[in-house]
Amino acid sequence: MDKIDVLIVEDDAKIAQTHSEILRQTARFNPIGIAETMQMARTMIKIHKPNIILLDNYLPDGTGIDLFRELIADKSMHKTNVVLITASDEIDTVKTAMKLGCFDYLLKPVSYERLQETLNRYLTLNTAMKAYDNLQQRQIDELFNIQLRDKHQQSLPKGIESITLDTIKRVFSQNIGVRFTVEKLVLETGISKTTARRYLEYCSANGLLSAENEYGKVGRPERVYVKRGDNIE
């Protein structure tokens, strides 16, 4: 399974390290380095060609928005997805980020759950894009809904995001009767163990999956999850 390379552009070492640790908790994401300035970022983008940049807007030698403009204008630069992270909630900055095609916009201090939501949504979109050869209207609508987030997100409890939930439901629908552990779901989807466990328990509590403890010869029982024909949709 291909790794998704992520460059962190952030001049605050503590924040950069926190982002790096969050990325490492999700199997598919690979933090390739930290750039503290725009100049360092330019060099690292050319060398590493990251799939995603977590881009702080206020840097010692300029703004992330200006660097994003450079990436778009310079045809020789590697094109990448940008998640802008900033302490600014100014509407003009938000508008500019949207016009430039920013994948997401996060306000500092960034919560673990909010960054995980962005990463999971990118992972789902990336997987869906690779799955389709010839697109029909329904599939195009699905891709745009992933990019823009589901309209019905508000109906879900805190910590449960519709795109990730749909991904997990799709995995189980394609594997009726197959027993999944947390580790097996992590390998299948690339989400973190913490996220996988939370969603599996949510699905179990709401009748989407059946859960039981499986006892081995030694050690603690292992919790397994399975979709049966009688589980509700």
CB atoms closer than 10 angstroms to residue 231: 17
> Residue 204 and residue 207: Cα distance in Å, rounded?
5
Distance CA 107, CA 56 (A): 10
Q: CB burial class (10 A; 0-12, 13-18, 19+) of residue 53?
A: buried
Backbone conformation region of residue 159, classed left if phi is above 0, alpha if psi is from -120 to 50, else beta: left
Closest CA to 49 of 38, 39, 41: 41
User: Is the confidence at residue 219, as pLDDT, over 70?
Assistant: no
Give yes or no for a contact between 83 and 100, defined as CB atoms under 8 angstroms apart: no
Task: Please write the tens of the pLDDT for every residue from 22-51.
Answer: 998 887 899 999 999 999 999 999 999 999
> What is the mean pLDDT of the segment spanning 193-197?
90
C-alpha 9/C-alpha 54 separation (Å) is 6
Supply the pLDDT for residue 151.
45
pLDDT at residue 190, as a whole number: 84
pLDDT at 217: 60
DSSP element (H, E) containing 160:
none
Residues of the chain with CATH 1.10.10.10: 123-226
Q: Which CATH superfamily is domain 4-110 in?
A: Response regulator (3.40.50.2300)
**What pLDDT, in 10s, does the model give residues 58-117?**
999 999 999 999 999 988 777 799 999 988 777 788 888 888 989 999 988 888 888 888
- Give residue 27's pLDDT: 78
Looking at per-residue pLDDT, the higher value among 89 and 132 belongs to 89
Share of the chain above pLDDT 90, in %: 42
Residues of the chain with CATH 3.40.50.2300: 4-110
The CATH architecture one would assign to domain 123-226 is Orthogonal Bundle (1.10)
pLDDT band at 152 (very low <50, low <70, confident <90, very high): very low
What's the pLDDT score for residue 113?
A: 82
Predicted pLDDT at 159? 81
Is the pTM for the entire model greater than 0.85?
no
The pLDDT score that the predictor gives to residue 148 is 53
Q: What is the dihedral of CA 191, 48, 126, 83, to 10 degrees?
A: 80
Amino acid in the structure at residue 8 = I
Q: How confident is the model at residue 215 (pLDDT cuts 50, 70, 90)?
A: confident
Average of per-residue pLDDT values in the chain:
84
- Tallying the residues shown for the chain, one arrives at 233
